[in-house]
Amino acid sequence: MITRFLIYGFSGWCIEIFWTGLGSLLRGDIKLRGWTYLWMFPIYGLAISLEPVHNYIRDWPIILRGGIYTIIIFMIEYITGWAIKESAGLCPWDYSNTPFSLNGLIRLDYAPAWFIIGLLFEQLHDTIANISI
């Protein structure tokens, strides 16, 4: 269980660094600077809680599975962002000045990205399960 948590945490970090680096490219930064926050490691590690969901909805249509992951990821992002903001005084990601923001904690326009990430999670989960970690 700890190993899977670590795999999800590191995978999330890597995806976020790639995502933010791609954003740098789109803004014209040829350094392709990508970044993440230490806070994100345990949050991405929480993907372990999606494993039973995946096992339950495995045979459902892709649109339903992706939609469920999107909703769950938004909930995790909102709750953890709120908890960090309450305890530390600010949330590391602040979407307050962006369109489609909900209390500065989530961006609804990220739904397609979370949809895809949820489906990629399924592949990672199956790979981890097949190597018995």
> pLDDT at position 133, please?
58
Which residues of the chain, if any, have pLDDT below 50? none
> pLDDT at position 51, please?
97
> pLDDT at position 50, please?
96
> pLDDT at position 47, please?
96
Question: Rounded to whole angstroms, how far apart are CA atoms 103 and 99?
Answer: 11
Question: Rounded to whole angstroms, how far apart are CA atoms 70 and 14?
Answer: 19
> pLDDT at position 106, please?
98
Question: Rounded to whole angstroms, how far apart are CA atoms 67 and 118?
Answer: 9
- DSSP-assigned letter for residue 60: S
Pairing of strands 101-102, 106-107: antiparallel
pTM of the shown model: 0.91
> pLDDT at position 60, please?
98
